[in-house]
Amino acid sequence: MMSGARIALIKGDGIGIDVADAAMQVAQAACRQVGAPALQFDEISAGAGYFAETGQDIEPGGEERAGDADAIFLGAIGLPAIRHADGTEISPHLRLRDRYGLYAGMRPVKAYPNAPQRLADPRAAGLDLVILRESTEGLFYSAAAHGRSVVVGDEEVRETLRITRATTEKLHKFAFRLAEKRRARGKRARLTCVDKANVFTSMAFFRKIFDEVAKEHPETEVGYNYVDAQALDLVRRPWEFDILVMENMFGDILSDLAGGLVGGMGMAACAEIGDQTGLFQPAHGSAPDIMGQDKANPLAAILSGALMLEYLAEKTGIVAYGRASDVIDWAVEEGFDANRLRPKEFGGDMGTRAVTDEVLAQIGSPSQSRAAG
């Protein structure tokens, strides 16, 4: 029997534990449904809770084991009351991004039937776009490792915004490949470069590299928007956009704004992909105020698990993982369409366990064979 992909599982803090368990249970069920090899888990302790106990933010050898796995799945990390001496939160996942070059941060933004839609325009019901955020440089370059910020007494702090050709070229090439994949699935694939090129030299450089890569892909329609105008357009006319590629901090902000358009952070799946490995996580925080209360919406984590399976299909060549990913996407879509998914986050009556059980039921239903293909 073919060996299954190895997953470095970091459950982390707060609701991260619950949603990671839910996501991996659903991923395994989808694999069984399509005959894909079972995932193999290597659980790694990390996060603010672990830091409070040990003084380390990840267990010894944890970073190396994460990089050795086929993929990394992260629940959530951070607790507001537990911080470094400089006031920043515990964040080993930023270091993992930096160490393993996870430059392509994908944030899908998709509207589901019967889920909250914050915009009254009926076109908002068809939202299906991707925010592609560079995840290792930009203004987060200083945050990835202590010592990159310059602190001048108690009077001044300087952070470095870094844009390199090597990373930016890879990001833009990833964006155009993503456009090709969307077209192959019958979706629109207009690619918009989001920057502040009218003010910052770094952003003009970012756009210059975008234009260079665009010349290699004349079949893809491209556009441009300054980040402030893009924030406005995500509220005014988000249905006109397909893939938005941007610097790290811009993506951090706009992806949360976009998540709010389709319900909230409980639907915000995330993939961070590099040349050798990928990290997958719900984009929400650890929400310690509801931890252990069966209130968390696990769908962002479950959909992140689907992104992970799609990635594993390409990385390992096991095409059944791609079918398992499709099964999960289909199960969530069908669950919302039938009004059988009603997360408490949206004012519904279903907690973490109930939502997970319903997705599992959809996966196991006879009609899911359409998705399994």
The domain that contains 125 carries what CATH number?
Answer: 3.40.718.10
Phi, psi of 109 (to 5 degrees): -130, 105
Does the annotation mark 252 as catalytic? yes
Whether residue 273 sits in one domain with residue 335 = yes
Q: Which of 213, 231, 261 is the last residue before a domain boundary?
A: 261
How many independent structural domains does the chain possess? Answer: 2
Q: 228, 275, 289, 357: which is the annotated catalytic residue?
A: 228
| Per-residue CA distances from 328 to 13, 26, 82, 167, 337 (Å) | 25, 8, 35, 31, 14
Residues 6+ away with beta carbon under 8 Å from 83: 89, 90
Q: 256, 294, 295, 315: which is the annotated catalytic residue?
A: 256
Domain presence at residue 256: yes
Q: Which of 261, 286, 320 is the last residue before a domain boundary?
A: 261
Does the annotation mark 196 as catalytic? yes
Helix extents (H) in the chain: 16-34, 48-54, 62-68, 92-100, 165-184, 201-214, 227-236, 248-261, 299-316, 319-337, 352-364, 369-372
Whether residue 139 sits in one domain with residue 236 = yes
Domain presence at residue 56: yes
Does the annotation mark 349 as catalytic? no
CA 352-354-358 angle, 5° bins:
120
Q: 57, 252, 326, 329: which is the annotated catalytic residue?
A: 252
Whether residue 43 sits in one domain with residue 155 = no
What's the count of helices (H) and strands (E) in the chain, helices before strands?
12, 12
- DSSP three-state, residue 191: strand
Domain extent, residue 198, equals 117-261
Domain presence at residue 111: no
Phi, psi of 97 (to 5 degrees): -55, -45
From first to last of its 373 residues, the chain has per-residue pLDDT tens of 568 999 999 999 999 999 999 999 999 999 999 999 999 999 999 999 999 999 999 999 999 999 999 999 999 999 999 998 888 888 899 899 999 999 999 999 999 999 998 899 999 999 999 999 999 999 988 876 656 778 888 899 888 899 999 999 999 999 999 999 999 999 999 999 999 999 999 999 999 999 999 999 999 999 999 999 999 999 999 999 999 999 999 999 999 999 999 999 999 999 999 999 999 999 999 999 999 899 999 999 999 999 999 999 999 999 999 999 999 999 999 999 999 999 999 999 999 999 999 999 999 986 665 445 5
Q: 50, 100, 141, 321: which is the annotated catalytic residue?
A: 141
Q: 11, 110, 196, 344: which is the annotated catalytic residue?
A: 196
- The two beta strands, 150-152 and 156-158, are antiparallel
pTM as predicted: 0.93
Whether residue 275 sits in one domain with residue 179 = no
Residues 6+ away with beta carbon under 8 Å from 23: 73, 282, 298, 301, 302, 304, 305
Whether residue 296 sits in one domain with residue 369 = yes
Whether residue 271 sits in one domain with residue 255 = no
Whether residue 277 sits in one domain with residue 256 = no
